[in-house]
Amino acid sequence: TLSDLFSIHDFLIFIARKAGEMMYSADPCVSTSSAKRNTSDLVTATDKAIEEMITLQLQAKYPQIHFLGEESFSSQKLTDRPTFICDPIDGTLNFIHGFPNIAVSLALTIEKKPVVGVVYNPFRGDLYTAIKGQGAYLTTSNGHIRRLPLRSKPAPLTSLNGCLVAMEWGSERQGPNWDLRTSMSKALMSSKASGGAMSHSIRSSGSAALDFCYVAAGQIDVFWEGGCWIWDVCAGWIILEEAGGLVASANPGDWEPQLEGRLYLAVRVAEKEGQQRVVEELWALMENK
Ligand code: IPD
C-alpha cells in the first residue's frame, strides 16, 4: 500500500543518513582500496561496511523483502518480487580521491520497476527522494525541501546542441562499452557539418546515481551511459521519472528500457517532443559512430 511505501521511504532515508556518517568519518586512500575487475574498478572497506550495515538494517526490519547490493552481488537476477537495491557508495573512485561527488543509492523495486528511490550525498548534504506517484524532492543541508525539477517552468528543449550532457567512463578500459564511450564522447564534443556544436559540452563527475538526480533537478539536460549497473541507476530512475523526466535505453529504438539493460539515457523535464528529439539525436550519433 501507499503507506507501506512511505514507511519504507522513511526507513531508507534513515539508513542513507547512517551510511553518510560512515562515509564522512572514513578516510580512504588509493592504497587502502582493492581492485575488483581492474585497477579502475575499486572497492574500499567502507563500501563493504556500509553495505553490511544496510543489509542488516533492512533484513531486520523487512525480512520478507529480497536484497541486491553492489558489493555482495554475485549472479542474482532481478525478479518480480519486491527487492531492495543498494549501492553503498556510488562514486567509489571519487570517495578514494576525496572528490565530493558521492552518494549512497537505495531503491525498492516491484515487478522489476523502481517504486521508491533515495540518493544521498553526505558531503553536500543533498538528499534526493521519490515515491511512485508522489513526486520527487530534494532536501538540502539546511533542511529546505524543494520539489524537482528546481525550475517551475523548465526551459524548452529543442535539440542536443544546446544541451549540457553528462556521461561517465565506468571502469572498463577496453571492449565494446569502452569503444562506445570513447566514440560518443568524441561525437558529443564535435562540430556538426553546419558548424554548430553537437552539444554544449560534456561532464563526467563520477556518479551515475547523482547524474540522474542532476537531470531530475534540471541542472544537467541529458545523461548518457554506455554500461552501468542496476544499483547505479535504480534510485535515480524513479527520482527522474517522478520529476517528469524521461528514461530511455541507449539502445537505438528502445523506448522501454529495462533495469538490467546497462545502457541508459536520461532526459530532463521538457515537452515530450523535445525530449524525444534529443533521444533520437543521441541514438543517431550511436549508430553513426
Ligand atoms: C560507478 C559510477 C560511475 C559509472 C559506473 C558505475 P560505483 O559506480 O556510477 O560514474 O560510470 O558505471 O559503476 O562503482 O562507484 O558504485
Distances (CA, A) of 230 to 25, 53, 66, 199, 218: 27, 20, 15, 27, 23
Residue 21, annotated ligand binder? no
How far, in whole angstroms, is CA 242 from its chain's centroid? 14
DSSP 65-127: SEEEETTT-SS----SS-EEEEEEEETHHHHHHT-S--EEEEEEEETTEEEEEEEEETTTTEE
The answer, yes or no, to whether residue 157 has pLDDT greater than 60, is yes
Positions of CATH 3.30.540.10 in the chain: 2-147
The answer, yes or no, to whether residue 30 has pLDDT greater than 60, is no
Say how many Å lie between the CA of residue 171 and the centre of ligand 1: 8
Positions of CATH 3.40.190.80 in the chain: 160-287
Residue 89, annotated ligand binder? yes
Q: Is 87 an annotated catalytic residue?
A: yes
For residues 6-15, b (16+ Cβ closer than 10 Å) or e, as one string? eebbebbbeb
Residue that wins the pLDDT comparison between 193 and 153: 153
Q: Is 232 an annotated catalytic residue?
A: yes
d(CA 211, CA 21): 22
CATH hierarchy code of domain 2-147: 3.30.540.10
Q: Check residue 278 and give its pLDDT.
A: 95
**How does residue 39 score in pLDDT terms, banded at 50, 70 and 90?**
low
Choose which CATH entry (3.40.190.80, 3.30.530.20, 3.40.50.880, 1.10.3720.10) describes domain 160-287: 3.40.190.80
Mean pLDDT of all residues in 143-157: 94
The cell numbers describing 161, all together, are 546542441
d(CA 285, CA 151): 29
Residue 85, annotated ligand binder? no
Longest CA pairwise span in the chain (Å): 60
Q: What are phi and psi of 165, to 5 degrees?
A: -110, 130
The cell numbers describing 77, all together, are 537476477
3-state secondary structure of 120: strand
Q: What is the mean pLDDT of the chain?
A: 91
Give every strand in the sheet of 222-226, ordered side by side.
201-203, 164-167, 222-226, 263-267, 246-249
The cell numbers describing 184, all together, are 560518443
* Ligand 1 atom closest to Cα of residue 227: 12
Exposure on the CB side of residue 289, measured as CA atoms within 13 A: 18
Please check whether residue 127 is in contact with residue 16, taking contact to mean a CB–CB distance below 8 angstroms.
yes
The answer, yes or no, to whether residue 143 has pLDDT greater than 80, is yes
Say how many Å lie between the CA of residue 205 and the centre of ligand 1: 10
* 7-21, 57-71, 120-134: least confident range: 57-71
Q: Is 90 an annotated catalytic residue?
A: yes
**How does residue 42 score in pLDDT terms, banded at 50, 70 and 90?**
low
d(CA 23, CA 34): 17
* Ligand 1 atom closest to Cα of residue 93: 15
Mean pLDDT of all residues in 86-95: 93
Q: Which amino acid is at 151?
A: R
Q: Which amino acid is at 22?
A: M
Q: Check residue 22 and give its pLDDT.
A: 93
d(CA 108, CA 82): 7
